[in-house]
Amino acid sequence: MSRSFNIGTPAFLPSDDRRRVQVIHEGASGQTVATVYAIGNDDFLQDFTNERPIIGPYRPFYDLSNGGGRSLGVVEGRARFETYSSAEEEQQVTMNYLGQSERIESVLELASESSIAGGAPTEENTVRIRLGGVLYNDTANGGFNESEGSIFALTALQSDAEAGVALEYCAYRSNTADFSDNLELVMEGGTDCGSFDIDAAYDTPYAVSIALDREAGALVFDVNGSERRLQIQTPIFTAPEEQFIGVQAHASGGSTVVAYADNFGTSSNAPLVSGQ
């Protein structure tokens, strides 16, 4: 079935060409679960009954559409990230979530297929996979002056110049509209971030979550049940609509990263995209 109508005015391409299939639940009566069998446009069709989506909520990936040797696929039900960097330019593959949440989680794994330029990691040549997002703003509900006052929190599984593979957590406050200047909120051992007492390794999955605990006034970082808390010293307002929530694999200094993500979610009781 189709419906059409005459616009009656000139039609031009929009500056922000955004389309979406969206499930909406209003009120507190329960939970809505819907199934999307395929998605497409004039040039593309993906039939989910034959080709499972990489992860939900499904959306185009900016990094993939802009080349650079990036890839994101599905291997044994997990999202597989791969990208290589040059000596002069870092590279990343980002899987974003389109929506708002004060809790994010995923299972992250850094693969030994990754290669470190020069054989050993330094500050200039690293590989990592991280879970992160803007979880609140300290100035106004919905944000202020674009990104000003927004707090970006992340947990990363990455190569480390001394330990080989390490797990760390970080949080930054944006001091500007575009996050070009920021303040480190976690400082440990003279670095921007804190660490977990976990002997991390390649080819090992880690269950990671980051949550905003409004009642306790804290950001809670968790890896495999090991918890770190950052007490919030400012007011807590809702984050901007565009929260930049997602999983990102990153390489720099000529290194190549291969990493996996599974069970990505924005709620502890959200149904998995596969329905299993």
**DSSP string covering 115-149, please?**
B-TTSS--SSS-EEEEEEEEEEESSSTT-BTTTBT
* One-letter amino acid of 229: R
Domain housing 220: 61-265
90 belongs to a structural domain = yes
How confident is the model over 250-259, as a mean pLDDT? 96
Question: What residues contact residue 181 under an 8 Å CB cut-off, 6+ apart?
Answer: 174, 175
So what's the pLDDT on residue 64?
65
42 belongs to a structural domain = no
So what's the pLDDT on residue 148?
95
152 belongs to a structural domain = yes
So what's the pLDDT on residue 275?
46
276 belongs to a structural domain = no
25 belongs to a structural domain = no
CATH number at 168 reads 2.60.120
So what's the pLDDT on residue 243?
79
So what's the pLDDT on residue 55?
54
So what's the pLDDT on residue 44?
72
Q: Is the pLDDT of residue 28 over 90?
A: no
Beta bridge partners of 40: 45
So what's the pLDDT on residue 58?
46
So what's the pLDDT on residue 268?
66
220 belongs to a structural domain = yes
pTM of this prediction?
Answer: 0.80
How confident is the model over 226-253, as a mean pLDDT? 93
Q: Could you read off the pLDDT of 125-170 as tens digits, one per residue?
A: 999 999 999 999 999 999 999 999 999 999 999 998 877 899 999 9
101 belongs to a structural domain = yes
Beta bridge partners of 154: 132, 170
124 belongs to a structural domain = yes
Q: Is the pLDDT of residue 250 over 90?
A: yes
Q: Which two tokens stand for residue 104?
A: 């994010």
So what's the pLDDT on residue 276?
44
Domains identified in the chain, total number: 1
CA distance 25 to 266: 15
So what's the pLDDT on residue 123?
86
Which of 10-24, 61-75, 109-123, 209-223 has the weakest average pLDDT? 61-75
So what's the pLDDT on residue 152?
96
CA distance 200 to 191: 19
Q: What percent of the chain has pLDDT over 70?
A: 89
Residue with more model confidence, 58 or 113: 113
So what's the pLDDT on residue 62?
60
Confidence of residue 52 (pLDDT cuts 50, 70, 90): low
Q: Could you read off the pLDDT of 58-106 as tens digits, one per residue?
A: 444 566 666 677 888 878 878 899 999 999 999 999 888 877 889 999 9
Handedness of CA 227, 233, 239, 244 (dihedral sign): negative
